[in-house]
Structure 1
Amino acid sequence: METKAAVLWERNAAWQIETIELDAPKEQEVLVELHASGMCHSDEHIVTGDMPFRLPCIGGHEGAGVVKQVGSHVSWLQPGDHVVFGFIPSCGRCPSCSNGHQSLCDLGAKIYSGNQIQDDTARHHIAGEDLALACGVGSFAHHTVVNEASCIKIEPHHPLDRACLLGCGFITGWGSSVYTADVQPGENVVVAGVGGIGAAAVQGAKLSGARTITVIDPSEHKQEIALSMGATHVAKSWDEAPAVVAEATWHRGADKFICAMGVGEGRLIAKALAMTAKRGRLVVTNIHPMLEREVSVNLMDLTLQEKQIVGSLYGSANPRADIPKILELWSGGFVDLDAMVTRSYPLEGVNDGYDDMRAGKNVRGILRYPAADADGAAALESATAGV
């Protein structure tokens, strides 16, 4: 079949909207009609080369849609099911999955090839050339074929243009607070960066019972959004932050410090660690350039105050359990997915969305596709029938 997709042909260039050829799913694969995709900063890392997926590449890894066709060996999904893609696939059988760490599934090692997990070949093509997929997903498209390990089934009443956020950003940030940092009631938390990940980290810290939540971000707009989500203090810069954190924590420092900036910088690790309390935990969630190798920290401070520096992938979460859980929390009013979405764009507006992200205008932009609009019109017609 033919469909449309946003393709990156070279580094530091714009996404190009192309008509591509899409093969039918093989035995362990699923054809999905996408309704929406989050515009995560990680796809910007593909553009800059910080995450070196091979090119040409279809972007997007934070998607949700409706199953249209399943491969012969897929028994638990059927056409019509609603799914969210997990950007880290989970097999359920490897040591990490079986120990409750789906975010570290062994299949994750295969996504950088850009090919299908099943046989390391491509299903997406243009003019006879194979296209790579971001994280094995490629959600900047109206349709895609993915491995069943990348699919999480959800109840059909959840709006897909909100559920898509759980494919990466929201769970990554929320889990960074709830799981990796293990925020406890009464603790003091700092979140550096209020994009999609940082805003979700604020919500996770609030739900966990943090006493104070300080955010570091230069954007007044994002500071206001963070305050509406549960932040208690704001700092507009790393230079201003130490005094704000000292005041918020009665000079104890942050029990948990979460780095959620768009791009990590090694030089900031020392500053973050200096604001971390005795026995405090510094969580590094944001992506650093792959070639960055140097970080300077005060190791005496690390040892004598028993501080910790830990990494967090996908918020140390288990997406098969956590995606349905967070959707239920949203339905109950415990988390706010609506506030995460600043603007929606059509597929053709993908470059506009990333311009807005770079300008600091968006907490999270999403791409919304024709299938979502058609469903919305059908739902409205059904709801108003006979009125």
Structure 2
Amino acid sequence: MKIRAAVLHSIGAERPFQDTRPLVIEELELDPPGDNEVLVQIKAAGLCHSDLSVIDGNRPRPVPMALGHEAAGIVKAVGSGVRDLKEGDHVVAVFVPSCGHCSPCAEGRPALCEPAAKTNNAGTLVSGEHRLHRDDGTPVNHHLGVSAFADHAVVSRDSLVRIDPALPFHHAALFGCAVLTGVGAVINSANIKAGQTVAVIGLGGVGLNSVLGAMVAGASEVIAFDLDDSKLALATELGASHAFNSKDPDCVEKIKALTKGGVDCAIEMAGSEKALEFAYLITRRGGTTVTGGLAHPEKKVAIQQVSLVAEERTLKGSYVGSCVPVRDVARYVSLFQQGKLPVDKLLTHTLTLDQINEGFERLAAGEAVRQVIEFN
């Protein structure tokens, strides 16, 4: 079938993106779903820094590539072997499909699925196939097994979670990445306990979800950090107990004084090595520093090695919020529907597909939290 999709032809585009237009809206041929694959009509897709990092070259991927990985839609057809989804089901796409058989999946860590990591880097579906082509048969790569900046997508069954059809699509899309990653980093990766103190560094869509997650987990203090005062104001509106601009040269000393030595857990979501070093500095003795930000592969962090030992620190990564999608999406949607996880307050803009380059310039400039493309 013919679809319209946003295709990236080269990485490292210069800004402003509304002028350089790195994403080109093209008509592509989408093959029918193969074995264990599903055709989804995309109804909403979020603009995420993980997409931006491909555009600007921080996360190199093979091009041409149809971008987009945070989405919700309706099942239109299923391939052979799919027994538990049917036409008309509402689904959220998760950008790490879980095979269920590799060692990480068997250990209950599907975010680290080994076949998914291999094929996501290669730009194919889990099957190793391309379902996107130009008219001449030239393949177009898939982004993280989803390629959601399109009116339809073929994805692996293992990339989808069925959701409550009452959930609006423009909210549902956020649960495939921003919510899973941000809330999951607090609840799964950091395992925050009620009464602990939490700092969140970097208040994009994922970081603000970490703020919400810390409150759901019962943190006694949720301290927000960013370079943008408007995002600090939003974090306070969402319930953060304190907000600090990270440009303040006395910020570390102020936090240690406020928390009597540092926070129990600092969560870095800025995707910056400097932000991670800052997060480590404000973590208390015996505390945990978690990073879910994706910096350029060449960036390195400088920390005091002896403090890991002498202060029994923990420094750990969190990918997709260490999630189990089939479990966590349902849990977080339920919290949202109960009013305990107001992720709708993070949605700042809705767009059409043709406005996508303007949206990514807005994201790169820090002028948006979460933007969603809506499809009719």
Q: TM-score, normalised by structure 2?
A: 0.94
Q: Deviation at 1:240?
A: 4.2
State whether residues 52 and 364 of structure 2, in contact with CA within 8 Å, keep that contact through their aligned partners in structure 1.
no
State whether residues 216 and 241 of structure 1, in contact with CA within 8 Å, keep that contact through their aligned partners in structure 2.
no
Distance 2:87 2:197 in 1: 46
| 1:6-55 CA-partner distances (Å, limit 9, x unpaired) | 00001123111111111111121111100001111000111122222100
SS in structure 2 of the partner of residue 32 of structure 1:
strand
Structure 2 stretches lacking a partner, 5+ long:
14-21
User: Given residue 184 of structure 1, which amino acid in structure 2 is its aligned partner?
Assistant: K
Q: Which moved more, 1:45-54 or 1:190-199?
A: 45-54
**Distance change (3 Å), C-alpha of 1:192 and 1:268:** closer
SS in structure 2 of the partner of residue 163 of structure 1:
helix
2:35 alignment partner, one of 27, 31, 46: 27
State whether residues 116 and 126 of structure 2, in contact with CA within 8 Å, keep that contact through their aligned partners in structure 1.
no
SS in structure 1 of the partner of residue 149 of structure 2:
coil
Distance 2:41 2:31 in 1: 14
User: Given residue 311 of structure 2, which amino acid in structure 1 is its aligned partner?
Assistant: Q
Q: Deviation at 1:215?
A: 1.1
User: Given residue 246 of structure 1, which amino acid in structure 2 is its aligned partner?
Assistant: K
User: Given residue 317 of structure 2, which amino acid in structure 1 is its aligned partner?
Assistant: G
Structure 1 stretches lacking a partner, 5+ long:
371-387
1:126 alignment partner, one of 134, 149, 160: 134
- Aligned position for 1:342: 348
Distance 1:243 1:347 in 2: 46
**Distance change (3 Å), C-alpha of 1:240 and 1:366:** farther
| 1:171-197 CA-partner distances (Å, limit 9, x unpaired) | 101011111111111111111010011
User: Given residue 68 of structure 1, which amino acid in structure 2 is its aligned partner?
Assistant: K
- Aligned position for 2:4: 4
- Aligned position for 2:26: 18
Distance 2:353 2:193 in 1: 41
**Distance change (3 Å), C-alpha of 1:268 and 1:219:** closer
2:314 alignment partner, one of 308, 314, 331: 308
Q: Which moved more, 1:107-116 or 1:49-58?
A: 107-116
- Aligned position for 1:383: none
**1:242 and 2:252 correspond:** yes
Percent of aligned pairs sharing the same letter? 34
Distance 1:273 1:121 in 2: 41
- Aligned position for 2:297: 290
**Distance change (3 Å), C-alpha of 1:37 and 1:244:** farther
Distance 2:188 2:126 in 1: 28
- Aligned position for 1:140: 149
State whether residues 234 and 244 of structure 1, in contact with CA within 8 Å, keep that contact through their aligned partners in structure 2.
no
Distance 1:354 1:49 in 2: 14
- Aligned position for 1:40: 48
User: Given residue 79 of structure 1, which amino acid in structure 2 is its aligned partner?
Assistant: E
SS in structure 1 of the partner of residue 144 of structure 2:
helix
State whether residues 84 and 163 of structure 1, in contact with CA within 8 Å, keep that contact through their aligned partners in structure 2.
yes
Q: Deviation at 1:270?
A: 3.2
| 1:292-330 CA-partner distances (Å, limit 9, x unpaired) | 2x3211112221111111000011111111111111111
> Where does structure 1 differ by over 4 angstroms across 4 or more consecutive aligned residues?
none
Distance 1:306 1:3 in 2: 54
State whether residues 61 and 87 of structure 1, in contact with CA within 8 Å, keep that contact through their aligned partners in structure 2.
yes
User: Given residue 332 of structure 1, which amino acid in structure 2 is its aligned partner?
Assistant: Q
**1:277 and 2:284 correspond:** yes
- Aligned position for 1:185: 194
User: Where in structure 2 are the equivalents of 1:88-127 lying within 5 Å?
Assistant: 88-109=96-117, 110-118=119-127, 120-127=128-135
**Distance change (3 Å), C-alpha of 1:234 and 1:244:** farther
- Aligned position for 2:362: 356
State whether residues 270 and 298 of structure 1, in contact with CA within 8 Å, keep that contact through their aligned partners in structure 2.
no
Q: TM-score, normalised by structure 1?
A: 0.91
SS in structure 1 of the partner of residue 130 of structure 2:
coil
Distance 2:104 2:124 in 1: 22
Distance 2:171 2:253 in 1: 37
Distance 1:324 1:303 in 2: 38
Distance 1:52 1:12 in 2: 9
SS in structure 2 of the partner of residue 91 of structure 1:
coil
Distance 1:94 1:230 in 2: 40
User: Given residue 137 of structure 1, which amino acid in structure 2 is its aligned partner?
Assistant: V
**Distance change (3 Å), C-alpha of 1:280 and 1:330:** same
User: Where in structure 2 are the equivalents of 1:209-224 lying within 5 Å?
Assistant: 209-224=218-233
State whether residues 235 and 244 of structure 1, in contact with CA within 8 Å, keep that contact through their aligned partners in structure 2.
no
Q: Which moved more, 1:183-192 or 1:232-241?
A: 232-241
- Aligned position for 2:236: 227
Q: Deviation at 1:268?
A: 4.0
User: Given residue 216 of structure 1, which amino acid in structure 2 is its aligned partner?
Assistant: F
Distance 1:62 1:240 in 2: 37
Q: Deviation at 1:78?
A: 0.9
Distance 1:70 1:79 in 2: 7
Q: Deviation at 1:98?
A: 2.8
- Aligned position for 1:374: none
Q: Deviation at 1:169?
A: 1.3
- Aligned position for 1:375: none
The number of equivalent residue pairs is: 365
